[in-house]
């Protein structure tokens, strides 16, 4: 069964024009449109399938500063504050709670890495606690084991991926924006070199500003405009168990398996970082750029199958705007979970936390996690195409930092002081090599 996801209705009709058109109803596109609509900007959000049906409902739900790369940490910190406000602003529950994240380890090198990050975090005012063996064992008592140490990050938290983004999408409509599901953007129209419209399967919207927040589809879309955006996606598998286990931590990471309490009282279980690399034409095109990333992560990666080729999101094909495009042929990227890994994850989780033996697997799914070569998102206006803003490549961290990213994009568009410094995210940085610059975590 795929990841659970709340249904929302779309706006009744597509506008003929809008100040801003946002393409992609994942966490990044939705929060961009949300903060624009709340400032009175006329904004239309286009989603080829259902809001949040791709990565943004398939994730663990962690909203963390812990172990974030220095370039991304300010956005993570601001996002936690924004997550807190969304519930007040919309009057709806996103499931966000600052429950704290617990990391336990038996490995000295891992603990040393966390201590190094703690020292860095202190310099930027972020609190995280290294745990002694005793403290780790006490916090991890549900495992019934002794631990060498750990970390607890009290100001981090989780939101509920099955409803958080749909709730924010309803917030767009409540603030005067429009949301259009099952409406793919086929391409962009330019006049005198700058954006003048978005061609959708249901007609054209006149606009001068477009945000491309298409997740794993962004590079193939950019390719239509001659924009070279190095992006690759890997397939991660995850499962959920039904409610019934008691006394477990809300969010726990260990090297063998991780667990997150879900909104319904069940738990999501996964092996951190473990993924399959499904070869695609786009991956071959950008393979050189991704050598440093894959070299750093190779222990967690395994060769996949032709699943990615079949899905069509990483095609190098050019398409025409008056005919059906790959985005309409594949409304929801729903790759097959790796069932061997699902079984292994469940087995490891039950060994670690015997209480889980009282539960059964309720859902198992996979998601393509889209990444840039240096593991930091690409956000900013593309040089040479005024009005075209790229916001993709969130590299496995986008759910937590989605509100901050959306706020920053809305700031840039409206000419406000950006909530965080946008320079680390400039897409132009990807024109130079990423050797030595890959995000640590
Ligand atoms: C298993 C897993 C675990 C993860 N765990 C975490 C976690 O704990 N914490 C965290 O912060 N992050 C996590 N992530 C990463 C996080 O989910 C992503 O970084 C984030 O959701 C990306 O959001 P997005 O809006 O960029 O893309 P998506 O959520 O993929 O949304 C893009 C949307 O654009 C739409 N689209 C594409 N092209 C078009 C078009 N032409 N027209 C209309 N619509 C289009 C797609 O249909 C899609 O809905 C995880 C991801 C996975 C898969």
For residues 118-129, give the mean pLDDT.
94
Q: What DSSP string runs through 120-167?
A: HHHHTT---EEE-HHHHHHHTGGGTS--SEEEEETT-EE--TTTHHHH
29 lines ligand 1 (CB under 6 A): yes
What is the pLDDT, as a whole number, of residue 114?
Answer: 96
For the sheet with 194-200, list strands across it.
Answer: 185-191, 194-200, 203-206
365 lines ligand 1 (CB under 6 A): no
- At CA 234, angle to CA 274 and CA 161, rounded to 5? 80
Residue among 419, 372, 369 at smallest CA distance from 396: 369
DSSP letter at 17 equals B
What is the pLDDT, as a whole number, of residue 439?
Answer: 73
Q: How far is the CA of 127 from the centre of ligand 1 (A)?
A: 28
Q: What percent of the chain has pLDDT above 90?
A: 94
Q: How many residues does the chain have?
A: 441
SS3 149: strand
Residue among 260, 316, 254, 331 at smallest CA distance from 285: 316
Half-sphere exposure of 180 (CA within 13 A, CB side): 22
Looking only at the bridges linking them, the beta strands covering 43-46 and 20-23 are parallel
Residue among 361, 358, 329 at smallest CA distance from 345: 361
What is the pLDDT, as a whole number, of residue 84?
Answer: 97
Name the phi and psi angles at 355, rounded to 5: -55, -30
31 lines ligand 1 (CB under 6 A): no
69 lines ligand 1 (CB under 6 A): no
Residues 390 and 397: beta-carbon distance below 8 Å: no
Going from N- to C-terminal start, the domains of the chain cover 20-100+155-430
Average pLDDT, the chain: 96
Angstrom distance (rounded) from CA 188 to CA 382: 13
For residues 209-218, give the mean pLDDT.
98
Angstrom distance (rounded) from CA 374 to CA 428: 13
Q: Which of 214, 272, 427 to mutate to test ligand 1, by most ligand atoms within 8 A of the CB atom?
A: 214
Residue among 285, 297, 306, 318 at smallest CA distance from 396: 297
61 lines ligand 1 (CB under 6 A): yes
235 lines ligand 1 (CB under 6 A): no
Q: How far is the CA of 26 from the centre of ligand 1 (A)?
A: 5
Instruction: Please report the atom of ligand 1 found closest to the CA of residue 50.
Output: 49
For residues 44-52, give the mean pLDDT.
98
What is the pLDDT, as a whole number, of residue 296?
Answer: 86
What is the pLDDT, as a whole number, of residue 2?
Answer: 85
28 lines ligand 1 (CB under 6 A): yes
What is the pLDDT, as a whole number, of residue 211?
Answer: 99
What is the pLDDT, as a whole number, of residue 1?
Answer: 72
Protein residue with least CA distance to atom 51, ligand 1? 59
Residue among 371, 373, 300 at smallest CA distance from 338: 300
For residues 193-197, give the mean pLDDT.
97
pLDDT at 298 over 90: no
Residue predicted with more confidence, 274 or 299: 274
Q: How far is the CA of 402 from the centre of ligand 1 (A)?
A: 10
CATH of 20-100+155-430, one of 3.60.150.10, 3.30.830.10, 3.40.50.10190, 3.50.50.60: 3.50.50.60
What is the pLDDT, as a whole number, of residue 392?
Answer: 98
Residue 101, token pair as written in the block:
């994240």
């Amino acid at each position: 069964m795929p990841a659970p996801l709340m249904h929302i209705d779309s706006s009744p009709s597509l506008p003929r024009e809008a100040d801003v058109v946002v393409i992609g109803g994942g966490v990044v596109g939705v929060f961009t449109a949300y903060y624009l609509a709340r400032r009175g900007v006329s904004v239309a959000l286009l989603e080829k399938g259902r809001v949040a049906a791709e990565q943004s409902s398939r994730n663990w739900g962690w909203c963390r500063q812990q172990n974030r790369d220095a370039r991304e940490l300010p956005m993570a910190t601001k996002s936690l504050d924004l997550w807190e406000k969304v519930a007040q602003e919309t009057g709806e529950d996103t499931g966000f709670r600052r429950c704290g994240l617990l990391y336990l380890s038996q490995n000295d090198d891992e603990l040393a890495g966390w201590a190094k990050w703690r020292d860095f975090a202190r310099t930027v005012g972020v609190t995280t606690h290294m745990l002694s063996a005793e403290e780790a064992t006490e916090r991890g008592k549900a495992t019934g084991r002794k631990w060498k140490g750990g970390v607890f990050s009290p100001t981090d938290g989780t939101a509920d991926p099955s409803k958080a983004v749909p709730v924010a999408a309803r917030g767009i409509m409540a603030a005067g924006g429009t949301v259009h599901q099952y409406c793919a953007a086929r391409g962009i129209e330019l006049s005198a070199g700058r954006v003048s419209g978005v061609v959708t399967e249901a007609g054209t919207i006149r606009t001068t500003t477009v945000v491309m927040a298409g997740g794993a589809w962004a590079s193939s879309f950019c390719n239509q405009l001659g924009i070279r955006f190095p992006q690759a996606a890997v397939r991660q598998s995850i499962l959920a168990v039904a409610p019934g286990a008691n006394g477990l931590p809300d969010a726990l990471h260990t090297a063998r398996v991780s667990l997150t309490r879900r909104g319904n009282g069940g738990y999501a279980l996964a092996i951190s970082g473990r993924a399959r690399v499904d070869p695609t034409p786009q991956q071959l095109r950008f393979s050189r750029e991704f050598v440093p990333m894959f070299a750093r992560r190779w222990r967690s990666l395994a060769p996949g199958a032709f699943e990615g080729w079949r899905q069509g999101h990483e095609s190098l094909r050019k398409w025409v705007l008056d005919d059906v495009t790959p985005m309409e042929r594949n409304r929801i990227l729903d790759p097959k979970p790796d069932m061997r890994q699902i079984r292994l994850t469940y087995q490891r989780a039950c060994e670690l936390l015997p209480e889980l033996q009282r539960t059964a697997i309720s859902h198992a799914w996979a998601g393509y996690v889209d990444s840039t070569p240096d593991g930091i998102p690409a956000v900013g206006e593309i040089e040479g195409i005024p009005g075209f803003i790229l916001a993709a490549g969130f590299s496995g961290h986008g759910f937590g930092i989605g509100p901050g990213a959306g706020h920053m994009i809305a700031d840039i568009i409206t000419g406000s002081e950006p909530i965080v410094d946008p320079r680390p995210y400039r897409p132009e940085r990807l024109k130079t090599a990423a050797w030595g610059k890959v995000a640590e975590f």
